Amino acid sequence: MDLQVTSGVIATLLEEAARAAPEECCGLLLGRDGVVTQARPAANVAQDRATRFEIDPMALFAAHKEARAGGPELLGYYHSHPDGHPVPSATDCDHASGDARTWAIIAGGEVKFWRDGKEGFEEMEATLIDQAAR
Ligand SMILES: [Zn+2]
């Protein structure tokens, strides 16, 4: 399945990663029908934020609630690897749930998208749509 991402989302992801460094940033990917239109930053509540991330459960709860009320769908999650590569780490694989949502990983000034599938992470082709953040 193809993924489409707005240029505004990519800009937000790169900004968030730079802002949080040397710690990991994290947040939610929101949109509809496979089109990510919003990257929503969330607090990283992990103890060791330089090498771990844990999305604030309240942010997740709010996003699920909004989706049920007709708001944007929770399409996935994002986090950064301040000193690494934009590929899932061993820790990421341990924490993957196989729920088929998208994980965006930001590292070294680039963003890569991965599908959290039953068989593990699979890189996704993301098509960029020219649209400002909203
Ligand atoms: Zn990671």
Indicate the pLDDT class of residue 2, thresholds 50, 70 and 90.
confident
Q: Backbone phi, then psi, for 90, in 5-degree steps?
A: -60, -40
Residue 22, preceding peptide bond in cis (omega within 30° of 0): yes
Whether residue 134 has pLDDT greater than 60 = no
pLDDT tens, position by position, 40-80: 999 999 999 999 999 999 999 999 999 999 999 999 999 99
Candidates 16, 24, 66, 122; catalytic one: 24
Establish if 76 belongs to a structural domain: yes
User: Residue 37 belongs to a domain with what CATH number?
Assistant: 3.40.140.10
Establish if 65 belongs to a structural domain: yes
24 labelled catalytic: yes
Residues measured by CB to lie within 5 Å of ligand 1, the ion: 89, 92
Q: H or E element: which one contains 76?
A: strand 73-80
Q: How many domains does the chain have?
A: 1
Spatial contact of 8 and 133, defined as CB atoms under 8 Å apart = yes
Domain with 93 in it:
3-129
User: From the CA of 89, how far away is ligand 1's center (Å)?
Assistant: 5
User: From the CA of 91, how far away is ligand 1's center (Å)?
Assistant: 7
Whether residue 1 has pLDDT greater than 70 = no
Establish if 92 belongs to a structural domain: yes
User: From the CA of 90, how far away is ligand 1's center (Å)?
Assistant: 8
Establish if 121 belongs to a structural domain: yes
Establish if 80 belongs to a structural domain: yes
User: From the CA of 35, how far away is ligand 1's center (Å)?
Assistant: 22
pLDDT tens, position by position, 97-130: 999 999 999 999 999 999 999 999 999 999 999 8
Establish if 134 belongs to a structural domain: no
User: From the CA of 69, how far away is ligand 1's center (Å)?
Assistant: 30
